[in-house]
Structures are given as structure tokens and as C-alpha cells.
A and B are shown apart, each in its own frame.
Chain A
């Protein structure tokens, strides 16, 4: 269902977009000087004039048979293009995802524990700055400073230019990956850090923390024993759900760094009206985002005992009340004489 809706929207948008696929792909000059016969041939190749629903139906039928279609732009099967690009993107995305999650969580915890003191102000200010800065702008600045001015990192691509694929070392790959990964990580930090900070403050102000305090647990002891498990769960959920945002950032960052990943392929496909490739990428990413959200849901159910027993109780309620939830009278062997009759009405 999700796949059908997403891919249909992609087809619809491409159909509505004013981009002329022929002109976009052969260039303006060539498009003007082209003969009419050539033009008609190319238009047929790009499917101009074919009704939207017909094209979509054909694509969907292919999808059902495991065929994602052919990328007109790259002249390769879409599945192959995505597989090639996904490898490069996967490294970038997973580093950024894990990195921003961990860094964001740690920063959030530090800020929350130092509520209203200078580390909190610093981290919060930084997070607000990161949320307001567009990721491509940060990428451009990073590129200018670290790649162009300082020359610490290459200015683009996933591997060195002019080196045969077989001669590329892991160090080369890591070196090319570093700057885009750092940029994406920094951009992704803000939501999880701010969210975690909020949760830590909420926990510290709550009854559970009060009771811990009264039992003599110091702030960090309290955090390791109780805070961490209470705060980590929402943070993990958020991070799982933010796969889409990281991917959105990757589209722009990859473009800036000329990094040949899925994001860049999506931009190329979009600008070139390569509807099959675009739809393919949209389907893959929507499945990725869906997977992230689904994982968050499953994780919650597995980790939180309240969710677990709610399910257990739902199952057990068919069989009768839970034995453990019922107070048994034999638990209370209290002689009434010793305490006297305790009245329950006379409140002050």
C-alpha cells in the first residue's frame, strides 16, 4: 500500500513537472538543433505523451514481477543503479545515523543533567544553531574550510580521481567519506540531543528521581541506575524514526560533495525526469523509513515491561484475572486489637 502510494505520487509529480525530459537530458543547444524525427524518437524513448496511468500501470506491473524498470538516464536496470549507489550511501548514512544518535544522546544527557548551567546553555545553543542551518550550507562551509583552505580532506567523490577501482584503498574510501559523514552527523545531532535533554529534565523533576534522591543516590548514580533506561527508550525511538531525515540531509550533502550515493542519484533522476529511477529510489527509501519506524515499535514492546505485560494482560484477560494483581486476604494476618479500629472518615 505504502509502496503504491509513494510511487504513484512520484509518477504524478514527474508528470506535472514542467521539465522537458528531452531537453533536460540532451542539453539546450542540442535540443534546439535537433531534427524533428530525432526529437520524436527521443520523446518516445522518454515516454513523453504517454498517459500517466498507462505508464504507471506498466511500471507497477513490472514491480510485481520484481522488475523495477530501466533507468533511462543511466541506461541500466534501476535495481542495478540503486544497488551500486546504495553501497556508498549505506556507509555514509549508517555512520551519520549511529554517530548522530550517540553524540546527540550524550550531549542531551549532559545538557539535561546540567540543566540551566553553562554546559546546558552551550549545547542548547549549538543545537538551535544546527537546526537552523541548512545541511547543504554547512556542507559548503565545511568544504571551503577543510577541503579547500586547509586541504585536509578531498573536495569530493567517493574515491580519488584518476585511480583505478582496484587500486583504491580503505584509507582512501574513509578519507573521502569523512567530511560528508561529519557534516551529516552534526546536522542530525540536534533533534535527538534536544529531545533527550527534555526527557532527562523531566526524569530529574519526577517522583522517581525524588525518591532516589531521598534514598541517597547522587545525580550520576541516579542516572546510571534509573535515568539511562528511562531516557534511552524514547531516544532510540526518535532515532529510528529519523531515518528519513538523515536520508533527506544525505540528498543535499551528497550533491555538495559530488558523492555518488543514492541521494545524488535521486537528484539526477528528478532533474532528468528519469521517473523509473526516481520511483525506485522513493520506494527503497520509504521502505527504509518504514523499517525504522517499525523497528522502533517492536523495540518498545520488547524493552518496556509495561507494554509487554499490557499485551500479556490482554491475553490473560480471556482466561481470568491475573493472580499477581489480586490482594489475597491471607497476606494480612493483622490483629485488629493491636491497632484499634482505624476510622477512615475524619480528615482534617
Chain B
């Protein structure tokens, strides 16, 4: 992340930053509109990202091969996004548009040669990289795309429990708590006791989704970021996976669903952030997708037209 911690004061755009101001439900503010169940406890968002840019160190694009100098090539620029408690925000965009990078930046994971700038607040508090690292293990959980992210040589139960924290006695107590929590989650998500003893390669597609969800829930997070949770699943399994995420949001948690599937997003999410050309062009409620007039950005309107129940009209530069 950036070197300087993200501070409350000194917003480049003048005045107080968004998070420092109290605001109310239903108010159309800060380039996004709300859904009915978006809540602002303490008058702030659970997660607020402002002006986030991610650049990779690489060679100047477009320069002749031998003359290209090292430069930072921007991948994401000026991304602003907010997630409320009790809602599901779908980040929709084409594959390769940098949606997964957004998730990594929010979780404070930077790969080598990456430069991240911007401000991130969690629960009304500005976060720097260290802060995000702390949140990553406790308040924000990530659900990866596939079961191949699990250690192939470790039994599923132990992986769901995760690493106990603390030292000595506190560590043992945490381990016991995790075991109990894992059993409870397995029971809730229809995973038999024998699943604990399986290895990841022995899981079916649907079981794998639920195991990954349990991994996220074991730390009792307040925000879940799910990266493409449905590819490779048939319709019934996709339903089930999303239903589980929906129920987490309905229980007061926040979900950021990263997907390339606009129909899926419209079916389960409360709000949609449309991702295009490395930035969020529009953040709006699902209801706005009822008709193209409610959508502000041309790319969002193109998305609307591309839906199967509409005219399938693909205008000039829709698909990238």
C-alpha cells in the first residue's frame, strides 16, 4: 500500500472526506445510491474505498521494444466503492478488468512491483496496510474462486479451523474455539462429520463451495469478499452457493461479490458496482437495472441491453 497512512484530514478534493461526515440512509450521496437494506450504523459505511489506484511496475506501454523504460502501468485508477452492513454489493465487470486486484488491495495484499494508492476506511476508521493486515485475519474474509486454493495435503477440517492465534494458553483456547466453530458451521452448511477428514481433492464442487464459505466464516468476519463463487457449478449449485452468501448478508454481514455474470449479480445482490476500464463507472441499486433510463453511465446501459431478456443489442464497444 502507500507509504503514508490513510488519514481522515486533508482530502485532496477539499472539505472533509466522505467517511468523516455523518450521512443518512436513503440519501443519494457520494456517487452512489442505496438499496433498501443498506444500513449505516454509526452513520458510516462498513467499507469505504476512495480513489484507489493500483499500478504495476513494468515497461512503458506502446514504446518500441528496446526503448521502453521502466514505468508504473496503471491497472486500477480512482476506484471508489462502498459496502454497507446487511447488503450484498456485486462488482460486475469483464474478466481481466482487475476486479480481483481490487479485492487484494482491500485486503492489504500487495505483490512485488505493485504500487497501491488511495484511502480505505473500515467501520469508519482510516486504514493503512498494517491495519488492513489486522482486519484481514479478523473482520474481512475472502472466499477464493476454487478449491485449488486449499492445501492439497491437509485435511479439510483443519484447514477450515485455520491457524489459532495467540500464544500458549490463549492459543490452545483459540484452537478449541475454532474446532467448535468449525463443527457448528459444518452442521449448518450440510457438511457431514466425515467431511472433516477428507482432503480437498475428495470434495465435490458443491461441498467445496461450502467448505470455502466455512473457511471464511470461522473467523466471524463482518465483511466477506467472494471472488467469482459460481464458475464451474451447475445451476442448482450456483443457487445454493449464492443463497448461503445471501443469508450471511441478511444476518447483518456485508458481502462484496466479484463476478463477471451480470444476471447472477442482479438476481442476488442489492447493489451493483459496474467495473469498466480499471475503474468503477457506476454504483447503483439493482432496481436501477429495471430500465436503461435509470442508469447513468453508457457502459451500464450497454450491459442492460446485453441481458438476454432485453434486445441483446451489442453496441460498438461493449464486449472487451
**Chain A residues engaging chain B, CB cutoff 8 angstroms:** 207-208, 210-217, 221, 225-226, 229-230, 233, 304-306, 309, 324-327, 329, 331-334, 336, 338-348
Contacts and interface: CB of A to CB of B under 8 A. Distances in A.
23 contacts: A210-B109, A213-B109, A216-B163, A229-B154, A305-B152, A309-B199, A324-B202, A325-B202, A327-B204, A327-B206, A329-B236, A332-B236, A332-B239, A334-B243, A336-B239, A339-B239, A342-B263, A343-B263, A344-B264, A345-B308, A346-B262, A348-B261, A348-B319
Contacts of B138: 216
Interface stretch (B53-61, B70-78, B120-128, B142-150): B142-150
A304 B153 contact: yes
Interface of B: 92-94, 104, 107, 109, 133, 136-138, 141-142, 144, 146, 148-154, 162-163, 190, 194, 198-199, 201-202, 204-207, 215, 219, 235-240, 242-243, 246, 260-264, 267-268, 303, 306-308, 319
A200 to B, nearest CB: 14
A347 B199 contact: no
Contact of A339 (B149, B207, B237, B242): B242
Identify which of A210, A213, A344, A347 gathers the most chain B CB atoms within 10 Å of its CB.
Answer: A347
Nearest to A313: B202
A216 B240 contact: no
Nearest to B303: A348
Contacts of B260: 347-348
A6 to B, nearest CB: 36
A346 B199 contact: no
Contacts of A333: 190
B199 A214 contact: no
A347 B320 CA distance: 11
B201 A309 contact: yes
Nearest to B192: A324
Given A324-B202, A339-B268, A344-B235, 10 more contacts: A211-B142, A211-B144, A215-B162, A229-B151, A305-B153, A306-B201, A340-B268, A343-B263, A343-B264, A346-B261
Contacts of A216: 133, 136-138, 163
Nearest to A214: B142
Nearest to A309: B202
State the 3 A-B residue pairs at the shortest beta-carbon distance, nearest first: A216-B137, A343-B263, A211-B149
A343 B246 contact: no
Contacts of B194: 324
Nearest to A210: B149
Contacts of A329: 236
Contacts of A304: 153
Contact of B163 (A215, A233, A327, A341): A215
Contacts of B94: 348
A343 B219 CA distance: 32
Contacts of B136: 214-216
B238 A342 contact: yes
A212 B151 CA distance: 9
Contacts of B190: 331-333
Contact of A344 (B133, B261, B306, B319): B261
Contacts of B207: 327, 331
A244 to B, nearest CB: 28
A338 B88 CA distance: 14
Nearest to A221: B163
Contacts of A331: 190, 206-207, 240
A306 B198 CA distance: 11
B306 A348 contact: yes
A309 B199 CA distance: 10
A348 B273 CA distance: 13
B263 A345 contact: yes
Contact of A215 (B137, B198, B204): B137
Nearest to A342: B267
Contacts of B246: 338-339
Nearest to A303: B153
Given A324-B198, A332-B237, A348 B93 contact: yes
Nearest to B94: A348
A210 B100 CA distance: 12
B242 A342 contact: yes
Given A327-B204, A348-B260, A342 B149 contact: no
Contacts of B142: 211, 214-215
A343 B206 contact: no
Contacts of B262: 346-348
Contacts of B201: 305-306, 309
A8 B190 CA distance: 64
Identify which of A214, A226, A344, A346 gathers the most chain B CB atoms within 10 Å of its CB.
Answer: A214
Nearest to B93: A348
Nearest to B198: A324
B206 A332 contact: yes
B217 to A, nearest CB: 12
B153 A341 contact: no
B152 A306 contact: yes
A14 to B, nearest CB: 48
A327 B153 contact: no
B268 A215 contact: no
Contacts of B133: 216
A348 B104 CA distance: 22
A306 B151 contact: no
B202 A342 contact: no
B290 to A, nearest CB: 14
A212 B190 CA distance: 25
A325 to B, nearest CB: 6
B204 A326 contact: yes
A304 B201 CA distance: 11
Identify which of B151, B194, B264, B308 gathers the most chain A CB atoms within 10 Å of its CB.
Answer: B151
B267 A343 contact: yes
B267 A339 contact: yes
Contacts of A225: 151, 154, 163
A326 B237 CA distance: 12
B215 A215 contact: yes
Given A306-B201, A347-B260, A342 B162 contact: no
